[in-house]
Amino acid sequence: LVAEIRCHDGGRPPLKASEVVRVQVVGRNEFQPSIQLSEKGSYKTIEETHPGGGVQIGNPLLTELGATTATAVIRVATTIDRDTLNAPGDLLHFTVTVADTEDSAGSRHSASTTVTVSVIDANDNAPRIQPPLLFQLKESEKAGALATSVHPRGAAKIAFDDADQGINARVAFRLLALSGRNGTGQRVAFPLPGRPSRWPLNVTEDGQIRATESLDREEFYEYQLTVAIVNHVASPQLSSVAELIVQVLDVNDNSPEFVFPPRRGASISISAGHRLGDEVTRIEARDRDEFSNITYTLVGGSGSAFFELDRFSGQVRLVHELSPGQHELVIRADDNVEYSRSVQTSLFINVTHYGGLGIGQLKDVHVNLSIIVGMIIVTGVVSVGLVSAIVCVRRRSQSRGSGSGSSGGGGHHGGCGGSLSSSPECDKDHCQCRASLPDPDAADP
């Protein structure tokens, strides 16, 4: 401040004087500083970042220190990962304090405010399919039937996990490949169709596994699905792949089938010489279903008084003395499971006059092939023996004639000397025979 000081006296004439004085006003620290936040107030947002980002949070903070103003900026100094932040509501709270400089009298003032920063999720985690990975579906269900998990039982959707949130955690499922394991255990890959819905199984976008047709466990008892999960609306789109198994549960949808007899009315031939208790044949049936327990029952026929049928093994045994003729057996096979199924057939047993003991079973023929084969072998052996004997006799005759010409009938050099009827020995080098046969050229004594 500049002030002019004037003074005068009361004499006559009055005298006066003036002087300009400069006054300096020394300030005192008497005002509290205040903080003015940006237009969004004390709530700021930031996307989760990685180290070195140096991202500014919000607009600068304006600070008024009396006639003095200053600005402050909050920046990211380290990694902020929302997925591991473990902060309630993904909110970070900061207390910002501003203080003035202490004056000469030791007076100092400060002000503070709270700034809340919300960490916004970034799509930096790929979704992953989680257990259970094993599902089940009953065969013969209609198209659209839903497969459910085994452990925990009954889950109707594929489970997944994504550490992101909001739009970044929205996923869709896609079936990439499908194969089935058949009754021989061989895995068969299904060719890529125009659309996966043409496969026997499909996966919906929300993770349901549904049949597109009625499944047959006897054709494929297990399916392997290659399923992808993807953040289909996030940016960037992240994905992963997993293998899932769908087991086809068996239902009793097949009746037993007879292996023997191969058809209704088939026949076998047995000998009337069988003893009581002998097995004369064996019934066999099979079932394409998984848990069948086939049993056999003799339900009728003219032969039911002569034969008995073992319920479990299918053995047909003789229980009454037989006479030649034909006997019919009516047989039923049951699978003995829930909603049991059964099938009947008939078998004719022809009792022949063939002698001998033992089982001797024939299927669908009326002549014992083993006897025929034996007869053929015996006939062949006898024929070979006769031919050999004839050849030997002819050789002896030729040798005898040769010997008579050289020795006048008395010698036996190089031949078979004497009568074969009196001497069983024969020269092996010439006759190759030791049989005692009559001499056709010898004269009657």
CA dist., res. 45 & res. 58, Å (int) = 7
Q: Is 213:198 a contact under the CB 8 Å cutoff?
A: no
DSSP secondary structure of 313-353: T-EEEE-S---SEEEEEEEEEE--SSS--EEEEEEEEEEE-
**Residue at 313 is within a domain:** yes
In the chain, how many domains are there? 3
Residue 51 belongs to a domain:
no
Residue 162 resides in a domain: yes
Q: Say if residue 137 is in the same domain as residue 221.
A: yes
Domain match, 243 and 263 both = no
Regarding whether 307 and 211 lie in a shared domain, the answer is no
Q: Is residue 243 domain-shared with residue 133, that is, in the same domain?
A: yes
Residue 173's nearest CA partner among 200, 196, 155 is: 196
At residue 438's C-alpha, the angle toward residues 434 and 439, to 5°, is 100
Q: Which of 249, 270, 291 is the last residue of a domain?
A: 249
Residue 194 lies in a domain: yes
**200 and 232 fall within a common domain:** yes
Residues 245 and 307 in one domain: no
Statement to judge: residues 209 and 291 lie in one domain:
no
Please say which residue of 249, 273, 296 terminates a domain.
Answer: 249
The answer to whether 283 and 344 have CB atoms below 8 angstroms apart is: no
215 and 307 share one domain: no
- Of the residues 340, 367, 394, which one is the last residue of a structural domain? 367
Q: Are residues 310 and 334 located together in one domain of the fold?
A: yes
Asked whether residue 114 is assigned to any structural domain, the reply reads: no
* Local confidence pLDDT in tens for the 445 residues of the chain: 888 889 988 888 888 899 988 888 776 777 778 777 765 566 777 777 655 444 555 556 555 555 677 777 777 777 777 777 788 878 888 888 888 788 777 788 888 888 888 888 888 889 999 998 999 999 888 999 999 999 888 899 999 999 888 899 999 999 999 999 998 889 999 887 655 557 999 999 999 999 999 999 889 999 999 999 999 898 899 999 999 999 999 888 888 999 999 999 999 999 888 899 999 999 999 988 877 889 999 999 999 999 999 999 999 999 998 888 999 999 999 998 877 889 999 999 999 875 444 344 444 344 456 678 888 998 988 888 888 888 888 877 776 655 554 444 444 444 444 433 334 444 444 444 444 444 444 444 3
Q: Are residues 351 and 431 in the same domain?
A: no
Residue 294, domain CATH: 2.60.40.60
Q: Which two tokens stand for residue 416?
A: 């078979």
pTM attached to this predicted model: 0.56
**C-alpha to C-alpha distance for 203 and 157, rounded to whole angstroms:** 10
Indicate if 239 and 147 belong to the same structural domain: yes
> 278 and 337: one domain?
yes
For residues 406-432, b (16+ Cβ closer than 10 Å) or e, as one string? eeeeeebeebbbeebeeeeebbeebbe
Q: Which domain holds residue 162?
A: 128-249
pLDDT of 415 reads 41
Residue 65 lies in a domain: no
263 within some domain: yes
In a domain, 1, yes or no: no
